[in-house]
Amino acid sequence: EIFRIAFRIKAEDDLPDAVNLVRQAYENLNLELRS
């Protein structure tokens, strides 16, 4: 049970980083398509 809670906290901590990476990739793609 403790491991499950710790894993959930870890996943929630990593989520914003993943969202930022995806957002950055989209922005880079948009810049390339525009030029």
The model's confidence at residue 5, banded by pLDDT at 50, 70 and 90, is confident
Model's pTM, two decimal places?
Answer: 0.51
Residue bearing tokens 């989209």: 26
- In the prediction, which pLDDT does 3 show? 86
pLDDT in tens, 10-26: 878 888 888 889 999 99
- In the prediction, which pLDDT does 14 show? 80
- In the prediction, which pLDDT does 30 show? 92
- In the prediction, which pLDDT does 24 show? 95
Residue bearing tokens 């989520």: 15
